[in-house]
Amino acid sequence: MSLALSTLIYEWRRYLAAIIALAVAGLLVLAMTGMFMGMSKSFTATVDRSPASIMILPPEAQSLFSNNSGQPRRNIPKIYRHADVLDVQALNMNWAFWSNFPKDGQPAKGDGVRVVIVDPVHGAVTLPNDFSDDLIQALQQPFSVIVDRSSLGKLGVQVSDPAKMNGIRVWVRAVCDGYASMFNASVFMSRQTAKLLHLLDDSQRVGPLVVKIKDPAQAQRVAAELNGMSDGQYKAWSREDLSDASQKSMLKEGGISVMIGFAVIVGAFIGVVITWQTLQGAILANIKEFASLRALGVSMGSLRLIVMELSLWVGAAGLLLTALLTGAVWALAKSFGVPMDFPLFVDLPVAITLIGIAILSGALSLGILKKSQPADLLR
Amino acid sequence: MSSLALDAKGLSKAYKIGKTRQQVLKNVDFSAYHGQVTMVMGPSGSGKSTLIAALSGLMRPDEGDVQALGESLWNKSSRKVDKFRLDHCGFIFQGFNLFPSLDATAQVVQILRYCGVGKRESHTRATAVLESVGLGARLHQKPAELSGGEKQRVAIARALAKSPALIFADEPTSALDSVNGQVVIKLLHEAAKERNAAIVVVTHDPRLEPHADRIIHMEDGNILSDHMISAPPS
């Protein structure tokens, strides 16, 4: 084991402040982006867990959220022209006003909810692939709805309670997990129930189309071929590409990027200052040992390398602690039903920045090595 | 090879303390021989530490030069002086200056690696030299688990491992009790005899005198006396 690594392990208390500073800087940025990504993920949950491998959006849409103003219903038969396509359906979303029937002492709740319309039969392209048989059966009953477990409090209901949607009575037959939303709750219902509630929009314009194909592994190829056939009428996306693009567009277009940018600057500044000062102090504590190496003829360049290696290990330890803390925050958020998500395109820059902070701090600490004058060891 | 290892002429060094300039070495001539323990004694402030700093390439004197192993030490660039120390000099200090995180073997291996010795070879040599200073049973102990005498022996092993022709020891026994002090000076004496190294020991510990081949007394930056006890090996 190298001197730098063994020093970090043996004298970890000395380096703890730097490691914590890095971890907190990382956590600050990751928690903010994670929460925001989680919010956007809750919007894309129905897409992410759709059995469809391909989504069709209007040609000008850059994601689910930007320039996605709907498309003509006649796009549906065009998609069937591709031989690999098995099923095409419009992903029906709507809005409704929800109110509960307050029990004794319970406050009345009224809120706008996002209605997700599915076909409750096995293999339906609109049915989320994590819906169990019980959920499917529950949805098959008229006037029954399903909500996410974390929305029960917000909607003021329990399982098997009645509620009103746009003034019509429905029953909460079951709860699902993993569709938590920071804002409006999602309410799942069958196409039939949606019709009964006058929520099924059968106009000539539809939202995203979900497409099931013969071999999901071929999604990229089929999407490219569909685009080749589109004549500029629509744009086909593989599910993963669309989910990625949607998250990124939320990050780019939301005001959150300013907040995250600010957090990065503050985090990096605090990280550099604390890490630099801690490293300097720790090196100073071993300065006589460094000086004895100098006396024995080890060059200043070699000592600098030790310090740089040390700072790199501090960065790695900071990164590890960031991961642990972020994991803990994630678990905590999950227990409160707050969705968080940490896509690689956020994690990677954060990791690189943290290592960069550690390296910069190491470079700033090099000056302290000038104090390693071996002649000072002589009394 | 001539048995003259170090030959210094006209060494002078002054320090500036506040506005006053203090002359700590005054035109000192000094020599040391291979195979001998040369002891430099004197009260504190006599300039003995400054003398070995100048002799060993740790601090450039204001005037004078040192012929070390036949090379003019202070005509070299500081990078070349570093290289000279790496190739030829061992140091033992009063404080042991061992990295707290490294065990005894790693302390020695570390310096051998900087000398360009291979990994396996440096482990073999470190084990051998630690055994030779009586630490065969303490190879994997860290400094915190070692007594003062043992730590100084690790420092000696670190200095001896690269087989230096010149070994400088500054008050090597003053942090040790008399038994450990005797062990340490005996090890240095053996290094002089068995490895033909020139050993310069700065001390004010009179108990070490019986182990010296030559005793030089300093005071106020001058050499007062130079007493050769046993002639250098030819």
Residues of A in contact with B43 (CB under 8 A): none
Residues of A in contact with B94 (CB under 8 A): 379
Mutation target for A interface from B13, B25, B58: give the one with most A CBs within 10 A: B58
Residues of A in contact with B162 (CB under 8 A): 296
Is B220's pLDDT higher than 60? yes
* Prediction pTM value: 0.77
Q: Is the ipTM of this complex over 0.85?
A: yes
- How many domains does chain B divide into? 1
Say how far apart CA A300 and CA A255 lie, in whole Å.
48
* Whether residue A114 is found in the same domain as residue A200: yes
| Helical pair A287-295 and A300-335, crossing angle rounded to 10 deg | 150
Tell me how far CA of residue A197 lies from CA of A96, A140, A189, A202, A254, in angstroms.
9, 15, 10, 13, 33
Cα nearest neighbour of A375 on chain B:
B58
Q: Do A378 and B95 touch (CB under 8 A)?
A: no
Task: Name the E strands within chain A.
Answer: 54-57, 71-72, 85-90, 92-100, 110-118, 144-148, 162-165, 168-176, 186-190, 205-206, 209-213, 235-238
Write out pLDDT tens, residues B104-130: 999 999 999 999 999 999 999 999 999
Q: Is A292 on the interface with B (CB under 8 A)?
A: yes
Asked whether residue A81 is domain-assigned, the answer is: no
Asked whether residue B75 is domain-assigned, the answer is: yes
Give me A272's structure tokens. Answer: 């550099």
Write out pLDDT tens, residues A358-372: 999 999 999 999 888
- Picking from A6, A302, A378, the nearest residue to B114 by CB comes out as A302
Could you tell me which residues are beta bridge partners of residue A210? A55, A89
How does residue A254 score in pLDDT terms, banded at 50, 70 and 90?
low
Asked whether residue A122 is domain-assigned, the answer is: yes
The reported pLDDT for the residue numbered A67 is 67
Could you tell me which residues are beta bridge partners of residue A313? none
Q: What is the DSSP string of B5-35?
A: EEEEEEEEEEEEETTEEEEEEEEEEEEEETT
Is B1's pLDDT higher than 50? no
Of A166-180, A246-260, B30-44, give the lowest mean pLDDT range. A246-260
What's the start-to-end Cα distance of chain A, in Å?
A: 33
Q: How many helices (H) and strands (E) does chain B have?
A: 6, 10
Average pLDDT, chain A: 89
Say how far apart CA B8 and CA B29 lie, in whole Å.
5
How does residue A379 score in pLDDT terms, banded at 50, 70 and 90?
low
Average pLDDT, chain B: 91
* Angular region, B63: left φ>0, alpha ψ -120 to 50, beta rest: beta
Higher pLDDT, B162 or B233: B162
DSSP, collapsed to helix, strand or coil, labels residue A72 as strand
Q: Do B59 and A375 touch (CB under 8 A)?
A: yes
* Whether residue A181 is found in the same domain as residue A100: yes
Is B227's pLDDT higher than 80? yes
> CATH number of the domain that A189 lies in?
2.40.40
* Whether residue A275 is found in the same domain as residue A366: yes
Domain containing B199: what range?
4-228
Number of A/B CB contacts below 8 angstroms equals 92
How does residue A165 score in pLDDT terms, banded at 50, 70 and 90?
very high
Give me A307's structure tokens. Answer: 């310090």
* Whether residue A170 is found in the same domain as residue A97: yes
Domain containing A162: what range?
92-206
* Whether residue A106 is found in the same domain as residue A187: yes
- Picking from B53, B111, B202, the nearest residue to A296 by CB comes out as B111
Could you tell me which residues are beta bridge partners of residue B17? B20
Rounded average pLDDT over A36-53: 79
* Whether residue A277 is found in the same domain as residue A366: yes
> CATH number of the domain that B81 lies in?
3.40.50.300
**Nearest Cα residue to B56 out of A235, A261, A374, A282:** A374
Q: Is A42 on the interface with B (CB under 8 A)?
A: no
Write out pLDDT tens, residues B131-189: 988 899 999 999 999 998 899 999 999 999 999 999 999 988 888 888 888 888 888 88
Residue type, B34: H
CA distance A155 to chain B (A): 59
Asked whether residue A163 is domain-assigned, the answer is: yes
Asked whether residue A216 is domain-assigned, the answer is: no
Say how far apart CA B39 and CA A295 lie, in whole Å.
20
Is A45's pLDDT higher than 80? no
Is A224's pLDDT higher than 90? yes
Q: How many helices (H) and strands (E) does chain A have?
A: 12, 12
Rounded average pLDDT over A325-348: 87
Last residue of a domain, one of A172, A206, A240: A206
Say how far apart CA A281 and CA A239 lie, in whole Å.
51
Asked whether residue B105 is domain-assigned, the answer is: yes
Percent of chain A whose pLDDT exceeds 70: 98
Phi, psi of B67 (to 5 degrees): -90, 110
- How many domains does chain A divide into? 2
* Whether residue A259 is found in the same domain as residue A368: yes
Rounded average pLDDT over B14-29: 90
Residue type, A356: G
How does residue A40 score in pLDDT terms, banded at 50, 70 and 90?
confident
What distance lies between CA A61 and its chain's CA centroid? 21
Q: Tell me how many degrees the CA angle B87-A373-B19 measures, rounded to the nearest 5.
A: 135
Is B51's pLDDT higher than 90? yes
Q: Is A375 on the interface with B (CB under 8 A)?
A: yes
Find out whether B47 and B221 touch, Cβ atoms under 8 Å: yes
Query: How many other β-carbons are positioned within 10 Å of the β-carbon of residue B24?
Result: 18
Write out pLDDT tens, residues A273-296: 999 999 999 999 999 999 999 999
The reported pLDDT for the residue numbered B41 is 93
Residues of A in contact with B46 (CB under 8 A): none
Q: Do A297 and B98 touch (CB under 8 A)?
A: no
Mutation target for A interface from B74, B76, B85, B97: give the one with most A CBs within 10 A: B97
* Whether residue A191 is found in the same domain as residue A270: no
